[in-house]
Amino acid sequence: MVGGVERSSDTKDRLIEGTRQLLWDRGYVGTSPTAILRRSGVGQGSMYHHFRGKSDLVLAAERRSAELMQAQVREVFSGEGTGLQRIVAYLLLQRDVLRGCSVGRLAGDPEIVADDELRAPVRETFAVLNRCLSEAVTEAQAAGELDARLRPEETAAALAAVIQGGYALARAEQSTEPFDRAIHGALDLLGVPADDRVPVGARSS
């Protein structure tokens, strides 16, 4: 019985992860039940044993992507260093740029943005990012690292937009250079010296 529970749990996990990867690469329409079963490597009927349907499974996959990105964001912004250093660390994370952001790409999917429930994990994740960035900006201002005239929430939104826009530019060119230019342009605007721009961690969101 225990073995059966473990196998059932493993099947559900594989369905969620397979769907997450398909959403990242193909979007909602391209994530068909057939493609999900093929990517997950599970038997026919498994999807409907664990989930009410495609939308239910997609939501679970979205939540996993959201949880992973939120954990990554919190890890960086709860780490060592000043407010500005943590902002720099997040901007310079090594990412799978041409694949894009697993959560950000969902925001461009018509089927997802049209559904309040499916859109919720995306909205919540960017709210976490904006809050962490905003708090770091405020801290950096208090330490004299950033201009006191900056508005923290607006600055945070601009930095998040630089990252997501950088992904789009990179995919359009099929080159990481536009993304890198966007990030370093943001660092220029923040007044971060070139010597302080050291990439950290091989991670992807």
104-156 pLDDT per residue, tens:
999 999 999 999 999 999 999 999 999 999 999 999 999 999 999 999 999 99
Structure tokens at 81: 């260093």
Mean pLDDT score of the chain: 92
Please name the residue ranges forming H helices in the chain.
Answer: 2-30, 33-40, 46-50, 54-77, 83-91, 110-113, 116-142, 152-173, 177-190
Averaged pLDDT, 84-93: 96
- Please answer whether residues 161 and 191 qualify as being in contact, where contact means their C-beta atoms are separated by less than 8 angstroms: no
Q: How confident is the model at residue 35 (pLDDT cuts 50, 70, 90)?
A: very high
Structure tokens at 89: 């660390």
Radius of gyration of the CA atoms of the chain, in A: 19
Return the pLDDT at 3.
45
pTM above 0.85, yes or no: yes
Q: Quick one: what percent of the chain has pLDDT higher than 90?
A: 86
Give the type of residue at 115. Answer: D
